[in-house]
A and B are shown apart, each in its own frame.
Chain A
């Protein structure tokens, strides 16, 4: 045990918790924290040497008692990120992923009651991490995995009633606003990470784990009764959905797309619309009140 300065007065609850949090969350581990080598530590010890107030006794000593919590802290968050960024872990391998998580937690300790929120800043963190220089697809991959979780956790709107659409006057369509389901996510990615996503349950030795060349990929994510759907879609459909998400009417969105490829947009619109309504991407069609 390191030498300790005996505190005479019992610590207040706040002091004790400050100290324990400092001990348990020190990324370099319990030994570094207890040795008090402050230059190497993340934070300065808040109330030095409260160690003397931790009860000692068999079957294990104080240091090991503290280590149960300190080890548990890291493992719990690692497990959570491992499960939320499974494809990323597969791409990197266990040890580099573990190191990445340790770096991440130093910069972004959990501050939410829900452990599932801990990965919120993971995509942006990875884009600025050294690993991204070696594996530049990682940022897009993390974005896809986090978007999947957002899609899973968003609340769906009730299904669209197809009969209601049959009564619509054809001339009214340009003024229609399509309400997309809140689970819809549109991703414009530089790397074709969907390929890796589809292999996420394969052993690391089967199927490629990494990408060598960028190739722009646009993805549509939405959830139906069963699960999250991830579909690569074409540029025009992507742009159209983007405009609709901004709240533009069908007519306004089509006008925007005319700068790109008006013929394609007009020709495809009917089949896109049929797909969006039948799959649950579009949940409501609103018309201006007369």
Chain B
């Protein structure tokens, strides 16, 4: 099952500060990921200049669309207007991947613009599964659901997070976007073994991975996307590639964004890990 189309290797997030560089230099990047909402335009509007830029980028690169406001776990009804606009954007951009987060972002019509954790229990699984199915039917394609970094948990959770994510992917027949940094952040914040997380995820469902940097305060980690990928996350990524194979991977860097060259260096490191694990001979030859 090919869930990722032409997105291969290590891609980068398309961010406004790099628009000019990307359009004028056409850098060697295998694919770009965009935040879907940034190209849907304001309420009642259209995508405007950001969409014009994305369409130009799309002519030269495969694109993955990554959303932050699907709010798949909210107790509110699915936002039909949002879904229509998402579908329209996907129809226009023809992305290789469409993804969002396994979380809730609002309630009572109010949007908190955060990726809020769900309790890992049967009620939440049933709720999310039926909604993922509806979204996939509406969009006419499979979507990937990403694990979020979390800073709190619930006493009434009935299973570990990886079991929750795997169960939803299985029952809803959706893909998994495995955020390796988020696994590490949550593992530290909730005191579990990150490798247990990887072992609990079925290999056939992972269609994409994310790598990013975090901030630390008194032993607690916050997923800020404003640092390079940390050493423990690189190590975990190696384990993830060993288990899931050379899955398309994205370097996420959304705040204090460095030069494009610096992002490419980060991507090259991830690519080297993919090459070394999926084809160790290639890396040995390169080293000689």
Give A contacts to B, CB under 8 Å: 10-14, 16-18, 20-21, 24-25, 52-55, 57-60, 62, 64-66, 68-69, 72-73, 76-77, 80, 109-117, 120, 149-150, 152-156, 183, 223
Contacts and interface: CB of A to CB of B under 8 A. Distances in A.
Nearest to B153: A55
A114 B107 contact: no
B152 A66 contact: yes
B47 A114 contact: no
Given A53-B155, A55-B154, A155-B48, 8 more contacts: A13-B119, A53-B156, A55-B153, A55-B155, A68-B151, A109-B110, A111-B110, A183-B48
Given A55-B152, A110-B110, A153-B48, A115 B116 contact: no
B261 to A, nearest CB: 24
Contacts of B171: none
B111 interface: yes
Given A66-B152, A113-B79, A60 B69 contact: no
A202 B47 CA distance: 29
Contacts of B118: 13
A66 B151 CA distance: 8
Interface in B1-52: 37-38, 40-43, 45-52
Contacts of A223: 48-49
For chain A, what secondary structure do more than half of its interface residues adopt (helix, strand, loop), or is it mixed?
helix
Contacts of B138: none
Interface string B166-201: 000000000000000000000011110000000000
A64 B51 CA distance: 39
20 contacts: A10-B156, A13-B119, A13-B127, A17-B74, A21-B106, A21-B108, A54-B153, A54-B155, A73-B112, A80-B113, A110-B110, A111-B109, A153-B46, A153-B47, A153-B49, A154-B46, A155-B41, A155-B51, A156-B52, A223-B49
A154 B220 CA distance: 42
Contact of B111 (A20, A112, A183): A112
Nearest to A73: B112
A76 B49 contact: no
B151 to A, nearest CB: 4
Most chain A CB neighbours (cut-off 10 Å) among B40, B110, B111: B111
Contacts of B106: 21
B159 interface: no
A16 B124 CA distance: 11
Contacts of A54: 152-155
A99 to B, nearest CB: 20
The 4 closest A-B pairs by CB, nearest first: A113-B69, A10-B156, A153-B48, A14-B75
A114 B42 contact: yes
Given A69-B116, A113-B82, A152-B48, A21 B107 contact: yes
A77 B104 CA distance: 17
A62 B189 CA distance: 12
A73 B42 contact: no
